[in-house]
């Protein structure tokens, strides 16, 4: 178990906060090692309290200017989930019939919102950066932040003993978002399917992770210069 200690610091608004410093990295490292995409699931429902903890993980994701523009469309009802799969069935790559019964019982559509960022950067303390228009952002941080929130959910899934995968919606996902009444200033960066893993992950049998070499860290990291 991680051992922690607290020390005082100034937080937002100048109010004192306690910063927890963890001395032990074992739990996080184990979670990272165990994380992988799971695509085959049992039909057992996910405990609502467990799901709430997974969803709450996004509150700890980085957010440019603390814009907090990432939102989630969570589908748990049988009918709502079934319609999602119907809307996202690719005509050229249909789901194999044997994979239909092992689909995840929970779908979380991750939504980004550029308006939240341009509105935040139009505020007096941010307007000098010139980022009050989406076109002025060299990198669309609303999508970056949504991706980081997604990663936290995937890690939280591992901590809860469940399985999950991340994938994109068909086309731009607008038909799906319209069906569920999502406002037009949101766009889907993808979705997380999660649930209790099946005994065998047959839906992942052709996954690239099993056919491609994993690049070692010394090929990915460049110290001091390329």
Q: Is the pLDDT of residue 98 over 90?
A: yes
Percent of the chain with pLDDT over 90: 81
Assess contact for 11 and 17: CB atoms under 8 A.
Answer: yes
Average pLDDT over residues 42-70: 97
Read off the pLDDT of residues 150-186 as tens digits, 9 standing for 90 and up: 999 999 999 999 999 999 999 999 999 999 999 999 9
Average pLDDT over residues 39-44: 95
Integer CA distances (angstroms), 108 to 55, 149, 194, 216, in order: 9, 12, 8, 31
Map out the domains of the chain as residue ranges.
1-34, 36-199
Average pLDDT over residues 191-212: 92
* DSSP 8-state class, residue 46: P
User: What is the CATH superfamily name and number for domain 36-199?
Assistant: NADH Oxidase (3.40.109.10)
Average pLDDT over residues 62-79: 97
Average pLDDT over residues 115-134: 98
| Residue keyed to tokens 């440019």 | 64
Q: Is the pLDDT of residue 61 over 70?
A: yes
Average pLDDT, whole number, for the chain?
A: 90
DSSP H or E stretch at residue 50: helix 48-56
As a whole number of angstroms, the distance between CA 29 and CA 33 comes to 6
| Residue keyed to tokens 């341009």 | 118
pLDDT: which is higher, 29 or 110? 110
- Considering the entire predicted model, what is its pTM? 0.87
Q: Do the strands 71-75 and 16-22 form a parallel or antiparallel pair, or are they unpaired?
A: unpaired
pLDDT band with cut points at 50, 70 and 90 for residue 28: confident
Q: Coil, helix or strand for 113?
A: coil
Asked whether the CA dihedral 22, 151, 148, 207 is positive or negative, the reply is positive
Average pLDDT over residues 25-46: 87
Average pLDDT over residues 44-69: 97
Contacts of 219 (CB under 8 A, 6+ apart): none
As a whole number of angstroms, the distance between CA 195 and CA 43 comes to 8
pLDDT: which is higher, 16 or 96? 96
pLDDT band with cut points at 50, 70 and 90 for residue 17: low
Q: Is the pLDDT of residue 32 over 60?
A: yes
Q: Is the pLDDT of residue 105 over 80?
A: yes
Assess contact for 186 and 96: CB atoms under 8 A.
Answer: no
């Amino acid at each position: 178990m991680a051992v922690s200690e607290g020390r005082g610091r100034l937080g937002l608004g100048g109010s004192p906060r306690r910063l927890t410093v963890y001395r032990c990295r074992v739990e996080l490292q184990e979670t990272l090692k165990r994380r992988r995409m799971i695509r085959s699931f049992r039909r057992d429902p996910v405990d609502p309290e467990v799901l709430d903890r997974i969803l709450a993980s996004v509150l700890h994701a980085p957010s440019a200017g603390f814009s907090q523009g990432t939102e989630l469309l969570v589908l748990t009802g049988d009918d709502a989930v079934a319609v999602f799969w119907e809307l996202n069935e690719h005509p050229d790559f249909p789901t194999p019939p044997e994979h239909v019964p092992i689909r995840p019982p929970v779908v979380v559509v991750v939504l980004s919102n550029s308006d939240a960022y341009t509105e935040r950067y139009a505020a007096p303390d941010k307007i000098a950066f010139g980022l009050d228009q989406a076109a002025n952002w060299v990198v669309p941080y609303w999508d970056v932040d949504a991706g980081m929130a997604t990663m936290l959910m995937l890690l939280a899934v591992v901590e809860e003993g469940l399985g999950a995968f991340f994938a994109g919606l068909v086309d731009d996902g607008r038909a799906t978002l319209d069906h569920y009444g999502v406002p037009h200033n949101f766009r889907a960066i993808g979705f997380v399917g999660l649930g209790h893993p099946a005994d065998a992950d047959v839906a992942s049998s052709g996954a690239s992770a099993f056919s491609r070499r994993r690049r070692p860290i010394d090929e990915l990291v460049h110290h001091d210069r390329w």
